[in-house]
Homo-oligomer: A and B are copies of this chain.
Amino acid sequence: MRQHSTAAGIVARFSLVFEELFIFIALLCLVAFFALSADNFLTTGTLSAILSQLPALTVVTIGMTLVLVSGGIDLSVGSVVALSSAVVGLLYTVFGLPLPLAALLGILAGGCAGLVNGLLGSYLRLPIFIVTLGMLEAGRGLAYLVTGSQTMYIGPDIQSMALPIPGLGVSPAFLLALALVIVAQLTLTRTVFGRYVIAIGSNETAAKISGIRTEPYLCAVLVISGLLAGLGGLMNAAYLGASDPNAALGLELSAIAAAVIGGTSLMGGRGSIVGAFLGVLIIAVLQNGLAQLGVSEPVKRLITGLVIILAVLLDRWRSRP
């Protein structure tokens, strides 16, 4: 009996690594495919192009994953990215605030949107899908209002965040995103907060009876998602050197896709930030590779759709021993 349980224990211990291993293999397959079919895919240029695109989607996906694990969903992230980038642009260019302050306020604007989502969704118990759908519309409207519906040029200052640090080859934004992935993964797996979020997503009633006040946690994940979307907006502005009220249209679907490819359940209670990050990488590699191949838009769409489905097929195959 004891021997048996140790064996099972070992399998169980590896299963987390294992889970992410499968997604990692999928990623490698994709890279191998593009390396074979596109001429200059395996170059430092491609790598740095991919790395510079990652940060915004990565941080947004971290927030989305947390929300999904808690059993919710946040459809407003795309709009909040646009809103926050608009706020940064406005404060810096029109009101002339110093950039760090403008950036901070932009992130806070995202946090406010998240707070509204959180209050309506957790304390008033409105269906979070609809609340964040409302915020998707309202947030975009605000972004248009803030920018006067025009792209605002911010200039090279803000871009320093998105440009590779000399000698290191990666940008501060990427380092920040990577650090957040690690922090979020540890928070989810190694802190009381993470446990509670998982417990609430897995069975809210049972969580309540176990003495967990569910509202503050449900609200907190939405605020975190809002703040991270705000940060995503800042990163987007840094990447573009401009704030674009039309930025990040449909980003919510990419973020959800990345999270689910990475093993997060839409039913709540299960998820991995590292997996979600691998999901982001898959999406980025796919977009890059297809662009380098220069295939036509319809074919790009078809392939993207197929890869999304294949990724979860692989995931399904894994979890069915």
Residues of chain A having any CB pair with chain B under 8 Å: 75, 120, 124-127, 129-131, 133-145, 149, 253, 256-257, 260-261, 265-266, 296-306, 308-309, 312-313, 316
Contacts and interface: CB of A to CB of B under 8 A. Distances in A.
A123 to B, nearest CB: 12
A312 B149 contact: no
A126 B309 contact: yes
Contacts of A149: 297-298
B300 A134 contact: no
Given A130-B312, A141-B298, A149-B298, 7 more contacts: A75-B253, A124-B313, A129-B256, A130-B261, A130-B309, A136-B305, A144-B301
B141 A305 contact: yes
A139 B301 CA distance: 8
B298 A126 contact: no
A127 B312 contact: yes
Given A127-B260, A253-B133, A257-B133, A142 B309 contact: no
A304 B79 CA distance: 14
B309 A120 contact: yes
23 contacts: A120-B313, A124-B313, A126-B312, A126-B313, A127-B265, A127-B312, A130-B257, A130-B261, A130-B309, A133-B305, A134-B306, A134-B308, A136-B305, A138-B304, A139-B305, A140-B301, A141-B297, A141-B300, A141-B303, A141-B305, A143-B298, A144-B301, A145-B302
Nearest to A260: B130
B302 A138 contact: yes
A143 B309 CA distance: 19
A127 B315 CA distance: 10
Contacts of A312: 126-127, 130-131
B129 A309 contact: no
A137 B253 CA distance: 11
A142 B297 CA distance: 10
Nearest to A301: B141
Nearest to A250: B250
Contacts of A300: 141
A259 to B, nearest CB: 10
Contacts of A133: 253, 256-257, 305, 308
A129 to B, nearest CB: 5
Contact of A309 (B131, B261, B265, B305): B131
A122 B15 CA distance: 26
Given A297-B144, A298-B145, A138 B306 contact: yes
Nearest to A131: B309
Nearest first, the 8 A-B pairs at minimum CB distance are A141-B301, A138-B305, A137-B305, A144-B298, A141-B302, A134-B309, A134-B308, A134-B305
A143 B302 CA distance: 10
